[in-house]
Structure 1
Amino acid sequence: MRADRVDFQKNRLLIFLFLILLSVSLIVALGLGHNLVRRQVQSEFNSLKVDVLESTMSSYEAFFQQSIPEISYYQGFLDSLSASRYADTVLKKYPFVETVTFYDSYVSDRNINHGIAVRNLGIGIKSIYKFGKRIPLDSIVIYDSKKPGRLSLSNADEFNNIGLKLAAFIESADTTKNVSNEVVFKIFYNITSNRISYMNVPRRQEISAFQDIMNNREKKPPVYELDLFSFELNPHKLKVTNRHPNLYQNITIEELSSGNIFDNPHYLNTSMPLPGAFSAYKLYFTSSKLFLEKEVNRRFLPIAFGVFFIYAIMIIITFLIYRNFRMSRKLFKLQYDFVNNLTHEFKTPVSVIKIAGNNIRSAHDLSLAELQHYGKILDEEADKLNELMNKLLSFTQIENKTIHIKEVEIELEEFSQNIINGYELKYPDYKIDLDVKRSVKTFLSDPVLLTSIYQNLIENAYKYSNPNLKYLKITVSKKKKNIVFSFKDKGIGIEKKEINNIFKKFYRIESQYNQQGSIGLGLAFCKELVNLMKGDITVNSKIGTGSEFIVELPYISK
């Protein structure tokens, strides 16, 4: 086995192993990528619930930090009408607020009807109003100190809780400093489950006056107004904003004691407790594994495309490397065959010349016929060597673009017939017919180059024909702006798979008709000549029937 074939098989094996490794790497990369995306989705399922909580509680935060503190702007002077307007605004803006209870209260000495009293300080209730979407207008007033009726413990309880905190604060308050936010939240807010109560924050002068009343420093203290609001909240009316619908299939608000409402192995669930007045509830997130798998596949798809794209690039590179190996091997084979054939082509005439020379030198007496015979042999073999050298030299000149076309007016019928006559003398069994159409008689071209095209195509037609079918028909015609030369034989034909290769340098079709040597330059030389003359050459062929070579050249005339 030749060394080049062994090397080629080794390289092909390496490429095959590389493809296997590349395919395994692709599968591993896809598996790892899919697993990483799945973990990322599961991690986001557990972590991005904070975003949903923040967006869901945004309205509650706005209510707590903006709407409730607004009560203090009125400095305790809200009446039933202004309190009703304020309550209507809150109820419309925040659907989770079910009812708003307004306590119209005041601070004075301990002589109060309903409220709490600490030493001389009294915090009393003048009236209580309850507003809500489902509360009829005639039921808004639930207590009025000027009318007969008793204050229920349920209504007084919320007032008493925050009133006691206010009294304790007044007892020890530092009136030289403003009330801090921490104190405001601790004293003037009362946050319980589903309820927030808020009393307007008195000014420093009022707090100082409250201390004087508590310590009996004023004999006839004035009455100071206070407003207390209690908001009843419904967590189920919070607007749940699902900012990640690709992760959370279902989000509900449930009580903390409800446990896992979806105890199903086919579902993933997580929860997040609600803050503030809704601390007894939680946001509960659930998604089926199939739902999350769709998200995994959606995210994994670009990664898979990227991996496949890289894999495709690697396959293309591998293919190019393999093709380069094949081309290198083919080139090596062509060069190897070229050297062998060229050696044979040179060796044969050289051997014949040497034999003829030895015969002449060793002969003592040669007749005139023998001298003519040996002279003819030497002349023919020298012509073969000269033709071969000229073809190689011409090919090199064409490739290096050192040949210049000489435009000479050619009488096509005379030109063609002269070449045909020469071949019929050379090959007596060769029948060549010529048909030059009337539409074309003369042609401006390089006669040397055109002769080379004729010679190569006529020689090929003879060489690749059966002994009893040495026939060729040459037709010259005009087609639009081109002149067309057709060389149609009755030879062995060319297989379709070889059609694209026959014009390549050093390419030889393996058959019984070229066993005696061919360097694969004839048709390649024709192709280069035609291209140089800005024309085109094509072939139509059928196995066992024959071939037709068609040369089209730009028609130029005087």
Structure 2
Amino acid sequence: MVSEKDTGYRKNFSLIVTFIVLISVVFILSLFLAFNYSKKNIENEFVSAKANVLEESIKPYNDFFFNKLPEISYYNGFLDSATASKFVDTILLQYPFVSKVVFYDTEVRNIKYEENGMNLGHFSIGIKGVYQFGSLVPKDSVKLFTESEGRNYAEAEDFNALAVKLINFVQKLDTAKVPSQDQLFSNFTNIRSNKIDYFNIPSPEQLKTYKRMVSEKLDSQPVYQQDLLSFQLDPSKIKIRNTRPLLYQNIRIEPITYDPLDASSEYVTGEIALPGAFSEFKLYFISSRSFVKKEIFSYFLPIAALLLLFYGVLVLVAFLIYRNLNINHKMFKLQYDFLTNLTHEFKTPVSVIKIAGNNIKSAPSISEREQKLYGKILDEEADKLNGLMNKLLAFTQIENKAITLNRDEINMAEFIESTIDVHCLKHPDFDFTYELDGFKTFVTDPVLLGSLFDNLAENAYKYSPVNHKKLHISARLIKDRVVFRFKDAGIGIPSSEINNIFKKFYRIQNRYNQNGSVGLGLAFCKELVNFMGGEITVKSVVDKGTEFKIVLPYNNEL
């Protein structure tokens, strides 16, 4: 056996090992960094995603404030208790956080003094009636005050606060300019904790008239209707829309001063203030760390899967490189052994021929007996050389499909018997038997079939111990297939070598295979069987024997 050092071939696997160790370290480091990145990203999202929850949860309030409230101005102050009740019903139904609405039916007059109202010069605004609406308001408590009752209405804080803003706005109004919508909205709206008061906004011409009414008494003595609605809000009725249920375990509305006493390191918390009339309240977010960790892992696992896939690809590349190195090493050894054995196979008969030739040339005279002996030696060694060259040539031709399959009809009994005669003559101690069943003739290529029989017979003799050199050939016709079985009583083939014996240049290492084999016999047989359109299999038990099974198509028509 030739060592790796002797052949000059080097398999340097240290680079592959270093490569695998390096990518493994990088893979582990990447997993660590990816987990930290996922953890940091989720922690940042815990902070930043609060704004989105607030935005989604407060959408109904924003719709109410920016879209529903301005609808009051569409009535131009001509709401009464009935129409106000219907308008409020739509609000209560659409916006559950509105708990109660107080409606002030007010009137602007050009007089010096208004008993139930506010006065500035000849500008007076007074209350004609007050009504309250809500799901918890009893029907007999809807009306709170009417002007016809002839008494002052003392509980008018909402009206008083907004009336003062209105009077101040009218007093400072520059009639040469048109007020902006923001100016109008801020002066006709009063936002307090859990309450919004809204006056309907007059037209620009009407505002100019209000301005004149402050300083003078107009001949037309105009009277204008102003409607004030005071909305009482309940922040607990805001529907919280948790847009990140896998991140926020619990969200609730708490006072802005709320500070939980049970806060611990086991929980992650956050808060964000509510806008507008709910500014004294906040959204309070709380999640257990184990709950947040699930979200971290849900973010991390796809990244880890991609890293694992990339790592697997790199390991596969390393494995393929290793496999190719290993295959190349084996091929190198096989080819080296093949060349060594082939050289030996050629050298032995050449040496014998040379020795015989020198003896003939140097001998002064040759007896008849010596002449026959040297002739036999020269003939046998020449046959060996010729057989070896023919086998190599035939193998190459079959692999390259350079020959054609002849089809001749042969008598199987005569064919097998002739094979037995040749090998028994060559090896007198060879116990060779056969049986034939189901057919007598077979259309095939006799040369190729003969090569097949000769190779298997030679193997059976060569790899059998003394007194066990036996071979039994059976030939049976089964359906449309001819099945040949070659069963010997030899040394057998280890199960680990079964898949290798048909490979070119492969030799099983044993005491029978040290010399005289180039590893082509069974590979040649397999190529022959494949070329003939059949298949070959083997069963073997170590120290018991081996059986080769060959199946060829049976077509007895020329």
Specify the TM-score bucket, using the shorter chain as the normaliser: over 0.9
Tell me the distance in 2 between the aligned counterparts of 1:535 and 1:414: 22
Pairwise mapping of residues 396-415 of structure 1 onto structure 2 (< 5 A)?
396-415=396-415
Indicate the residue corresponding to 1:540 in structure 2: 539
Tell me the distance in 1 between the aligned counterparts of 2:27 and 2:202: 73
Residue 51 of structure 2 aligns with an amino acid whose one-letter code is: V
Pairwise mapping of residues 7-406 of structure 1 onto structure 2 (< 5 A)?
8-10=10-12, 12-108=13-109, 109-152=111-154, 155-219=155-219, 221-260=221-260, 263-406=263-406
Task: Report deviation, 1:270.
Answer: 1.2
Residue 169 of structure 2 aligns with an amino acid whose one-letter code is: F
Residue 556 of structure 1 aligns with an amino acid whose one-letter code is: N
Indicate the residue corresponding to 2:508 in structure 1: 509
Task: Report deviation, 1:182.
Answer: 1.5
Residue 271 of structure 2 aligns with an amino acid whose one-letter code is: S
Residue 34 of structure 2 aligns with an amino acid whose one-letter code is: G
Offset from partner CA, 1:282-332 (integer Å, 9 cap, x none): 111111111010011112121121111112222222111111111000000
Residue 116 of structure 1 aligns with an amino acid whose one-letter code is: M
Task: Report deviation, 1:4.
Answer: 7.2
CA contact (8 A) 2:11 2:325 kept: no
Tell me the distance in 1 between the aligned counterparts of 2:216 and 2:515: 139
Task: Report deviation, 1:25.
Answer: 1.7
CA contact (8 A) 1:436 1:476 kept: yes
Tell me the distance in 1 between the aligned counterparts of 2:8 and 2:280: 80
Tell me the distance in 2 between the aligned counterparts of 1:32 and 1:8: 39
Indicate the residue corresponding to 2:436 in structure 1: 436
Offset from partner CA, 1:452-476 (integer Å, 9 cap, x none): 0010000000000011111111111
Secondary structure at 2:473 match in 1 = strand
Task: Report deviation, 1:186.
Answer: 2.1
Indicate the residue corresponding to 1:494 in structure 2: 493
Residue 88 of structure 1 aligns with an amino acid whose one-letter code is: D
Tell me the distance in 2 between the aligned counterparts of 1:220 and 1:479: 127
Tell me the distance in 1 between the aligned counterparts of 2:41 and 2:308: 21
Tell me the distance in 2 between the aligned counterparts of 1:241 and 1:32: 33
CA contact (8 A) 1:4 1:329 kept: no
Tell me the distance in 1 between the aligned counterparts of 2:378 and 2:29: 73
Task: Report deviation, 1:158.
Answer: 1.6
CA contact (8 A) 2:120 2:167 kept: yes
Offset from partner CA, 1:107-135 (integer Å, 9 cap, x none): 11123221111112111111111111111
CA contact (8 A) 1:131 1:140 kept: yes
Indicate the residue corresponding to 1:480 in structure 2: 479
Residue 495 of structure 2 aligns with an amino acid whose one-letter code is: K
Residue 208 of structure 2 aligns with an amino acid whose one-letter code is: S
Secondary structure at 2:354 match in 1 = helix
Offset from partner CA, 1:529-556 (integer Å, 9 cap, x none): 0000010111111111111111111001
Offset from partner CA, 1:187-222 (integer Å, 9 cap, x none): 101111111101011112222222232212414613
Residue 380 of structure 1 aligns with an amino acid whose one-letter code is: E
Tell me the distance in 2 between the aligned counterparts of 1:177 and 1:183: 12
Secondary structure at 1:513 match in 2 = coil
CA contact (8 A) 1:213 1:221 kept: no
Tell me the distance in 2 between the aligned counterparts of 1:276 and 1:264: 31
Tell me the distance in 2 between the aligned counterparts of 1:320 and 1:24: 20
Tell me the distance in 2 between the aligned counterparts of 1:5 and 1:210: 113
Tell me the distance in 1 between the aligned counterparts of 2:58 and 2:164: 30
Tell me the distance in 2 between the aligned counterparts of 1:322 and 1:85: 84
Secondary structure at 1:307 match in 2 = helix
Task: Report deviation, 1:494.
Answer: 0.7
CA contact (8 A) 2:11 2:329 kept: no
Tell me the distance in 2 between the aligned counterparts of 1:380 and 1:537: 31
Residue 268 of structure 1 aligns with an amino acid whose one-letter code is: V
Unaligned 5+ residue runs, structure 2?
none
Residue 451 of structure 1 aligns with an amino acid whose one-letter code is: G
Tell me the distance in 2 between the aligned counterparts of 1:246 and 1:7: 60
CA gap 1:7/1:181 in 2 versus in 1, 3 angstroms: farther
Secondary structure at 1:248 match in 2 = coil
Residue 326 of structure 2 aligns with an amino acid whose one-letter code is: R
CA contact (8 A) 2:200 2:226 kept: yes
Task: Report deviation, 1:5.
Answer: 7.6
Offset from partner CA, 1:8-48 (integer Å, 9 cap, x none): 442x2222222222222221111111111111111111001
CA gap 1:251/1:4 in 2 versus in 1, 3 angstroms: farther
Tell me the distance in 2 between the aligned counterparts of 1:3 and 1:425: 44
Tell me the distance in 2 between the aligned counterparts of 1:341 and 1:221: 132
Q: Normalising to structure 2: TM-score of the pair?
A: 0.97
% same residue:
48
Tell me the distance in 2 between the aligned counterparts of 1:445 and 1:62: 94
Tell me the distance in 1 between the aligned counterparts of 2:173 and 2:513: 120
Offset from partner CA, 1:123-174 (integer Å, 9 cap, x none): 111111111111101111112221154422xx32221111112112222323
- Which moved further from structure 2: 139-148 or 371-380? 139-148
Offset from partner CA, 1:395-428 (integer Å, 9 cap, x none): 1111111010010001111111111101111111
Q: Normalising to structure 1: TM-score of the pair?
A: 0.97
Residue 443 of structure 2 aligns with an amino acid whose one-letter code is: L
Residue 428 of structure 2 aligns with an amino acid whose one-letter code is: P
Secondary structure at 1:512 match in 2 = coil
Q: CA RMSD in A?
A: 1.4
Task: Report deviation, 1:490.
Answer: 0.7
CA contact (8 A) 1:434 1:474 kept: yes
Residue 336 of structure 2 aligns with an amino acid whose one-letter code is: Y
Residue 478 of structure 1 aligns with an amino acid whose one-letter code is: L
Indicate the residue corresponding to 1:455 in structure 2: 454
Secondary structure at 1:218 match in 2 = coil
Residue 524 of structure 2 aligns with an amino acid whose one-letter code is: F
